[in-house]
Structure 1
């Protein structure tokens, strides 16, 4: 495997034999030994692992039935068009993950020797916390490796990736085989167990010694010491709640059809149990944040963030960015001085129900093809800019028809939509990209949302016990979907949900569609279709658009797909296969 030995961009020196006379002193280079007396240098190994966490907004939707892009050089567009290979893989996280684990493993092997603080209690507590972070991050990276590179290998077995829990030196034998998928899942759980044992569920200050969690009282009974290490100062670092959430993510992946076989011990009940722990911590099925569906545009909430605090919808996020308009510059329509990169498809638009909650093809939907945007699911207008919708600080009307006479029309410019739609989700409409009056706003990127975990539970509980059974919890898949749709539609009676609750297959389709809508443009669809092991025809569903001119709605095909069935699983990088004969490729990949 490709393990690069980096230490914060500095060389780790190893000396053999006598030093040459007049050889310059390595004044600007640090050795591993120096981390023992330089706590900031030691912590830097861990910080470096945070820097390469895979992006939440990976724009993989460009290779699904949810969106296309006008950026014709985009890796996901090219992958969908037939250029996805083991040497050209936009979804690869191989190198960044193993490099991050190098930092983590080096840190774990050396952290007990570091003088973290002048007083012994703080030093021991800092070491405990940072080891917990390190274990959690190692589990995180192994999860992404498993999701993106696990699969059926050429030996016919369900395989994961090589498990590396020790720091690799130049003398290490890198030619090691892939571990089984089940072994990787168990290793993730083991690392997350350590993270939960060493970390508080969340980082909050305490005001009295009695509020210090019991497991930390053996380290300190001093409020100031606890708050210094485990208090709000540490917010947005890996914590116990994040570990619980990655356990739920891992179990959902492992329980899914693409990864189910006799060698995999994870069940749907396991996945429901782990997601349920997070939901219980939040307060149950009815604790779903009321404004969680518009987390990106809750302006007063976002503008008021401070002290590392989270909006109620967010379990983990990246740091806030002030005076920012990057997303808007990338995705606003051209009339709003954007590049219009994310173009939602007609396929996705048709997945939004009508305002009474019925799918548009249901007899009770009251859907009209002559006024297709009227009386639709409220999420539609919040997530997608369609012909006639308003957007931007001036509430400008956006016309997307090819004959509309505006730059926003289909294929008018290189930055125009290719489908008749622009993405609205993720964007703040109060950002101004006009160069004459350019102004940005506060933004943050999520890493985990509560809505995702609620949907994880609904899917797993339905598969484990059916729509209305509760298993080990006090709520069912039906209860969770009822809460999600109540938030979306605002109604108390949901006749279509009632229609589905007696049929596991119908509930499955409803849950999957709710997941598609609630998490659209957030990097889930590409992976969901694969873990569900959908037929290749679904992977290759043509991305469609809708041209609106003079009240006439003309559907058209925007982009075709060229996936093969073996592409349910991503490849191991070909460069690694060529170097190491113990490393087996997934079936079908060259």
Structure 2
């Protein structure tokens, strides 16, 4: 009983603005006790699932800052109807203020989730785990490990957003003084250390794989814990948190520095070591890079590569050997990622709104088929990339034969065709899998397929995130989506994380190239050294730490595009400000003729300053808890 009240007191004072005395006066006399919640194994298991509950609320990508602020997707802000929660997409328009915090995961407002409440539940679970007398020692050990992982991940989610945060190791006692409740922020290195400590304590007591997938898929494994640890350490080692001079003067009110002003290279070594341990654990558990194989469908190698990359994300979890971790909630927005391919789908805007718009800059991020960037490929006429070109028989599995589009839509790597839907591009699926009868996208103006002009142009750039649609989903006069879980971590991402850490420690090494090239080979590309030597205008780029760093960063942005990862990566690298310093453009979507359509036009001018790397703490929270200090520049 005391634990229940003490944790409520802490969270209520921090996040509600109501005085201690007033709050205690309104607590009902008949509030349920923790004795009931932990009276037996079944009740305790129900409480365990409440600890997981917030984790499952993360399934919505529109509440994920890594998804909405990455510049990968633009969502229009002038629609008559607003079916999506648009707060996250609005952040790059400069809407964030300390008085009205968007995606507020501190308080649980404006699209955010109150993560501290979830940490409170985890603490309650750990404090009462000994009460159920019918709980076996093995289950008890596993549940403790699961809850420690959840505590670690919730703290990690907060530190990525806010930097230094209060560490909540235990819930305060109901008798705690008002001053004790007013917690201060912990130095960011202390927060990361605590997260890693919890993960280290959890991993040995978690199963490596889930055997009973029908009932337990989604629960934490040791492979997940080890992989998350690698990402946590890489985040701590990255420029945003590792000796960042922009934050060096930030201190608590007692003078304690909240950020280290000294760069520490050993943090990258720890990240590299953790990533290798995680990779070895994945291998031992049977994980491997996904390859597409469907006995009922015969496709050429070029399409097979496209489907391999697309299905590495959209394949069912229990059938995807690459998927380390995903959330239980189904990805809810396939219809937003899918162009209107039939007259019936154009009429049914509710199942196929089609409004996730990819800017030209994201489409141009992908390599040519030579495996190097568009502007580096010495065989590609970059300055003429917007010149018109008509699809022919040789490119028929990527671009509709006889359809006029532009030069840069040809001779691109398979990940481009798997990830981006574009005007004239082949759309394998949506009910058609016969290679001689496939849909293609018609994005220009008032096309006969796309329907009325005002419906067609809800996509404001002319590009769609094709990767976020299962090829078997059908959007027509109704919709029949084949559900999938958006990955949090895939093996390919872990490979690239390991290569990144290795490069930061030792510069270019054979081991780093090996793991980058594993990912590139799956996409049908030669290795980094071969591709840059043969085709790049900067053939020695990969020979320096700085050059290979740029290659790895672009490789991660390509491989993990639209998966809610790039926004977090760009933040930890301190590169998001640079990415958002340029206007985001699309095509002249209201024009029907190709010659008029293919003229870039600005659809959004991002607003992103140095302060936006970290979320502000809400002004009212600083008044309630006068031991808190605001993040820099807010």
Q: TM range, normalised to the smaller chain?
A: 0.7 to 0.9
Alignment match, 2:463: 421
- Please give the alpha-carbon distance, in whole angstroms, between the structure 1 residues aligned to 2:423 and 2:10: 49
Q: In the TM superposition, what whole-angstrom CA distance separates every residue of 1:347-405 from its partner, at most 9, and x where no partner exists? A: 01111111111211125242451222011011111111100123322443322223646
Q: Does 1:256 align with 2:238?
A: yes
Shift of 1:413: 3.3
Q: Does 1:496 align with 2:541?
A: no
Larger mean CA deviation between 523-532 and 136-145 belongs to: 523-532
Q: Does 1:274 align with 2:274?
A: yes
> Is the Cα–Cα contact under 8 Å of residues 289 and 321 in structure 2 kept in the other structure?
yes
Q: In the TM superposition, what whole-angstrom CA distance separates every residue of 1:163-190 from its partner, at most 9, and x where no partner exists? A: 1111245544320100011111111111
5 Å-filtered alignment, 1:167-566, equals 167-168=171-172, 170-172=174-176, 173-204=180-211, 234-261=216-243, 262=260, 267-283=267-283, 288-291=288-291, 297-298=310-311, 302=315, 309=318, 311-319=320-328, 326-335=332-341, 336=345, 337=348, 338-367=352-381, 369=385, 370=387, 371-391=407-427, 392-394=430-432, 395-402=438-445, 404=447, 407=450, 412-413=454-455, 416-436=458-478, 438-468=479-509, 476-491=511-526, 495-498=530-533, 499=539, 500-534=541-575, 536-547=577-588, 549-552=592-595, 553-566=598-611
Alignment match, 2:94: 82
Q: Match of 1:477, SS?
A: helix
Alignment match, 1:472: none
> Is the Cα–Cα contact under 8 Å of residues 544 and 555 in structure 1 kept in the other structure?
yes
- Which stretches in structure 2 are left out of the alignment for 5+ residues? 1-8, 14-23, 108-113, 244-259, 293-305, 388-406, 433-437, 534-538
- Please give the alpha-carbon distance, in whole angstroms, between the structure 2 residues aligned to 1:2 and 1:528: 33
| Cα gap change, 1:376 to 1:137, in 2 (>3 Å) | same
Shift of 1:83: 0.8
Shift of 1:329: 2.5
> Is the Cα–Cα contact under 8 Å of residues 138 and 191 in structure 1 kept in the other structure?
yes
Q: Match of 1:558, SS?
A: strand
| Cα gap change, 1:270 to 1:567, in 2 (>3 Å) | same
Shift of 1:101: 0.7
| Count of residue correspondences | 515
Shift of 1:125: 1.1
| Cα gap change, 1:403 to 1:339, in 2 (>3 Å) | closer
| Cα gap change, 1:497 to 1:570, in 2 (>3 Å) | farther
TM-score (norm 2): 0.74
> Is the Cα–Cα contact under 8 Å of residues 199 and 226 in structure 2 kept in the other structure?
yes
Shift of 1:454: 1.3
Q: Match of 1:459, SS?
A: helix
- Please give the alpha-carbon distance, in whole angstroms, between the structure 2 residues aligned to 1:351 and 1:408: 30
Larger mean CA deviation between 292-301 and 577-586 belongs to: 292-301
> Is the Cα–Cα contact under 8 Å of residues 199 and 239 in structure 1 kept in the other structure?
yes
Q: Does 1:112 align with 2:155?
A: no
| Cα gap change, 1:334 to 1:573, in 2 (>3 Å) | farther
Alignment match, 1:64: 70
| Cα gap change, 1:56 to 1:491, in 2 (>3 Å) | farther
Q: In the TM superposition, what whole-angstrom CA distance separates every residue of 1:408-448 from its partner, at most 9, and x where no partner exists? A: 79x84386211111111121132223345x42324223232
> Is the Cα–Cα contact under 8 Å of residues 459 and 511 in structure 1 kept in the other structure?
yes
TM-score (norm 1): 0.79
Shift of 1:70: 2.3
Q: Match of 1:422, SS?
A: strand
Larger mean CA deviation between 441-450 and 167-176 belongs to: 167-176
Report the aligned-residue RMSD: 3.2
- Please give the alpha-carbon distance, in whole angstroms, between the structure 1 residues aligned to 2:415 and 2:203: 36
Q: Match of 1:448, SS?
A: strand
| Cα gap change, 1:326 to 1:182, in 2 (>3 Å) | closer
Q: Match of 2:499, SS?
A: helix
> Is the Cα–Cα contact under 8 Å of residues 336 and 353 in structure 2 kept in the other structure?
yes
> Is the Cα–Cα contact under 8 Å of residues 340 and 456 in structure 2 kept in the other structure?
no
Q: Does 1:142 align with 2:163?
A: no
| Cα gap change, 1:75 to 1:487, in 2 (>3 Å) | same
- Please give the alpha-carbon distance, in whole angstroms, between the structure 1 residues aligned to 2:578 and 2:528: 35
Alignment match, 1:165: 169
Q: Match of 2:460, SS?
A: coil
> Is the Cα–Cα contact under 8 Å of residues 149 and 198 in structure 2 kept in the other structure?
yes
| Cα gap change, 1:376 to 1:341, in 2 (>3 Å) | same
- Please give the alpha-carbon distance, in whole angstroms, between the structure 1 residues aligned to 2:464 and 2:431: 16
2:121 to 95, 103, 128: 103
| Cα gap change, 1:247 to 1:492, in 2 (>3 Å) | closer
Q: Match of 1:259, SS?
A: coil
Q: Match of 1:80, SS?
A: helix
> Is the Cα–Cα contact under 8 Å of residues 148 and 570 in structure 1 kept in the other structure?
yes
Alignment match, 2:295: none
Alignment match, 1:130: 143
> Is the Cα–Cα contact under 8 Å of residues 327 and 487 in structure 2 kept in the other structure?
yes
Larger mean CA deviation between 504-513 and 63-72 belongs to: 63-72
> Is the Cα–Cα contact under 8 Å of residues 68 and 342 in structure 1 kept in the other structure?
yes
| Cα gap change, 1:492 to 1:521, in 2 (>3 Å) | closer
Q: Match of 2:600, SS?
A: strand
- Please give the alpha-carbon distance, in whole angstroms, between the structure 1 residues aligned to 2:602 and 2:626: 44
- Please give the alpha-carbon distance, in whole angstroms, between the structure 1 residues aligned to 2:52 and 2:90: 29
Larger mean CA deviation between 51-60 and 358-367 belongs to: 51-60
Shift of 1:263: 6.2
- Please give the alpha-carbon distance, in whole angstroms, between the structure 1 residues aligned to 2:497 and 2:321: 18
2:11 to 3, 28, 46: 3
Q: In the TM superposition, what whole-angstrom CA distance separates every residue of 1:248-292 from its partner, at most 9, and x where no partner exists? A: 1111110011111246766111111111111122349x9850439
Q: Match of 1:316, SS?
A: strand
